[in-house]
Structure 1
Amino acid sequence: MGTRATGGKGGDHAFVGPDWRGELPPGVIEHRVPDNSVMFAIRIGVLPGDADDLAEVNALQDRFSLTSLSNWSDPAAHGRAGVPDLGARPHYDGDLAFFRTVADLAAENPPAPGNDAAIELLRRGGITLGEPMNVDALSEPMRKGLAQAAIDGPKVMDWKVKYRGTPYPTRWNNLEPGTYGVNYFDRAAGSLQGLFVHDRDEAEYFSTYEDGDGALLDGSQRYVLHFDADQIPPTLPNGFWSITMYGADFQLVKNPIDRYSIGDRTPGLTKNPDGSLDIYIQREEPADHASNWLPSAADGQFRLNYRIYLPEADAKDPATLVKYIPPVRKTS
């Protein structure tokens, strides 16, 4: 629901689990979710430094409420909902603790239809859907293999998180869209770093740890990201784009001007006379270019995330979007 999908309209919506049976009140729109546990994220864009726009967004936030179906008939109870007790979940120790927890979670939220191959793979690894894992029934080679997988798996995922999605020659990686289906590798990476990734119609996501020559980005260096006039990403009405700075700890980088991202909504962002655009990525303020400055950490590696919200067709087509992701170039 949002600007693109529903035209920014309000409404009453019910999110119900895969096994829910019942009748919703008139005018309430049903959304059937695939799992018993659900997370919500509400995103509202705010113009940077615009106090009036922030006040308008705060007023909109006051008009959102989340309540249980049982409270719906009582307007005074809107905004309140009891959290269901999912029951106590065992805590496991030992080298197979991870897999025992997986078995319990799979019972709480059974895989949606279409995951038969994964269910069979779990079964071969000693996890039977809907049952606690019986580690005593495992052969010694299986126990050793699973224990080693528990060690190696996180290392593999550390690499995958760093190089998520499809790599392009300009050293940007285009993240996979948010509906992963049976792409468990990217689903796992998204869970570790970047929940709530949109599908391409809503947003395109790119990340890089490297400049255009393949060298790791480092706060001790100076960089420029140059867009020719026709490389500036086109968006639908109300769309926008931004580039955000993250440190080695995956957190925003503190800086003296409190600017953590830069984009087409950054106040004072200035294009060159020919319509091109330069963004200066460095630790110290660039002379005569403060409005186009994205501050980096004083030293150490960093990562850039580039997002295009409501992209036009060329900017979301994997075959043509490379035009809008030019390389980051070192200048010193």
Structure 2
Amino acid sequence: MAAGPTEALTFFERMRVWSQEFPPADHDRDALATYEPIGLTGATPIGELPEDVRSALEEGYAVGKQALESSLHTTVPTTDGWQVNLHVFDYNTDFFEVGALDNRGWQLTDPTTRYARRAGAALGGLWGNHGYEAAYFPTYVDAAGQQLSGAHVYRLRLSPTPPVRAFWSLTMYDLPHFFLVTNPIGRYSIGDRTPGIVYDDDGGLTITISATRPADAKAAANWLPAPEGEFRPLLRLYAPGAAVLDGSYRLAPIERTDSDDDSADSITDEETR
């Protein structure tokens, strides 16, 4: 094993230290206690544990990381490509401050799934709200079920626009890190507060998603810049209306608007510059 700390051992060392500095809630103590026999909550730094234990931690971390990343794509129900789950951030069952409801209908209490759900929520978008405060709809695919990629041009038609009592926004994130995407116009999201957007005649909004700025003026006004590689947009609806909470409001799928020939021409143009 390398002399320096690895990603896996750094993770478990942080867990060891922080689990002692920040004691768990009562209902989490039994789960944390199961880690004591292998030294994950003890006084010995993880880097000083026996070689076989460190090797097992490395292997377990790799398996767990792969399973966690995969769960973001496979464990949430989808409608027209959008993941629909109003309860993804309901893992909090202990602390209720202003605006949070101590309501069993908004709590994940199953100990066999709560930790995995919480880990998935942290990876995909840490510190989210309960569904009645904000609803989150991510998508990885277009209308044909293909992974979204900056190699193509897409259109999202919101008609009607999301029913909210506050505001809504569609934010662009790259993959696999879920980072914001640097772009020439400094636009990381588009929504009902975005200056200069142009609505359709029926009050809907047509958003163009692409890595390059659209030539059409209206499409450029409603442009959400994408990275050159794969990406995942996330729609946030703050103070969602009743139609969102009861599931009657449905989002249209993101449609690819360019052809394979267009993509090939674009790549050729980029390569010859």
Q: Please, what TM-score do these two structures have when normalized by structure 2?
A: 0.70
For the residues of structure 2 that align with 1:216 and 1:251, how far apart are their CA atoms? 17
What are the Cα deviations for residues 191-247 of structure 1, in whole angstroms up to 9, with x where unaligned?
344222111122111212211221111112111111233xx21112xx111111223
Q: Secondary structure at the residue paired with 2:69?
A: helix
Question: Where does residue 239 of structure 2 map in the other structure?
Answer: 310
- Please report how far the alpha carbon of residue 143 of structure 1 lies from its aligned counterpart in structure 2 after TM superposition: 6.0
**Is the contact made by 1:212 and 1:329 (CA closer than 8 Å) also made in structure 2?**
yes
Aligned with residue 256 of structure 1, among 161, 184, 187 = 184
Report the AA paired with residue 255 of structure 2. Answer: R
For the residues of structure 2 that align with 1:254 and 1:93, how far apart are their CA atoms? 31
Q: Secondary structure at the residue paired with 1:245?
A: strand
Computed over aligned residues only, the root mean square deviation of the Cα atoms, in angstroms, reads: 3.2
Q: Secondary structure at the residue paired with 2:34?
A: helix
For the residues of structure 2 that align with 1:217 and 1:111, how far apart are their CA atoms? 39
Q: Secondary structure at the residue paired with 1:163?
A: helix
Match runs of 1:38-49 below 5 Å? none
Aligned with residue 247 of structure 1, among 166, 171, 174 = 174
- Please report how far the alpha carbon of residue 179 of structure 1 lies from its aligned counterpart in structure 2 after TM superposition: 3.7
Question: Where does residue 65 of structure 2 map in the other structure?
Answer: 154
Note the residue ranges of structure 2 that are not aligned, 5 or more in a row: 93-110, 259-273
Match runs of 1:174-185 below 5 Å? 174=84, 176-181=87-92, 182=111, 183-185=114-116
- Please report how far the alpha carbon of residue 154 of structure 1 lies from its aligned counterpart in structure 2 after TM superposition: 2.5
Question: Where does residue 208 of structure 2 map in the other structure?
Answer: 280
Question: Where does residue 99 of structure 1 map in the other structure?
Answer: 12
For the residues of structure 2 that align with 1:222 and 1:254, how far apart are their CA atoms? 17
Note the residue ranges of structure 1 that are not aligned, 5 or more in a row: 1-91
Larger radius of gyration: 1
- Please report how far the alpha carbon of residue 288 of structure 1 lies from its aligned counterpart in structure 2 after TM superposition: 3.9
CA gap of 1:103–1:303, structure 2 versus 1, over 3 A, is same
Match runs of 1:179-198 below 5 Å? 179-181=90-92, 182=111, 183-198=114-129
**Is the contact made by 2:159 and 2:205 (CA closer than 8 Å) also made in structure 1?**
yes
CA gap of 1:270–1:100, structure 2 versus 1, over 3 A, is closer
Question: Where does residue 209 of structure 1 map in the other structure?
Answer: 140
What are the Cα deviations for residues 46-81 of structure 1, in whole angstroms up to 9, with x where unaligned?
xxxxxxxxxxxxxxxxxxxxxxxxxxxxxxxxxxxx
CA gap of 1:145–1:286, structure 2 versus 1, over 3 A, is same
- Structure with bigger RCO (C-alpha 8 Å, 6+ apart): 2
Match runs of 1:30-179 below 5 Å? 93=5, 98-123=11-36, 125-127=38-40, 131-132=42-43, 145-160=56-71, 162-163=72-73, 166-174=76-84, 176-179=87-90
For the residues of structure 2 that align with 1:164 and 1:207, how far apart are their CA atoms? 13
Report the AA paired with residue 156 of structure 1. Answer: A
CA gap of 1:125–1:208, structure 2 versus 1, over 3 A, is farther
User: Aligned residues: percent identity?
Assistant: 35
**Is the contact made by 1:165 and 1:174 (CA closer than 8 Å) also made in structure 2?**
no
For the residues of structure 1 that align with 2:171 and 2:11, how far apart are their CA atoms? 33
For the residues of structure 2 that align with 1:304 and 1:134, how far apart are their CA atoms? 40
Q: Please, what TM-score do these two structures have when normalized by structure 1?
A: 0.59
What are the Cα deviations for residues 66-103 of structure 1, in whole angstroms up to 9, with x where unaligned?
xxxxxxxxxxxxxxxxxxxxxxxxxx957756435423
Question: Where does residue 100 of structure 2 map in the other structure?
Answer: none
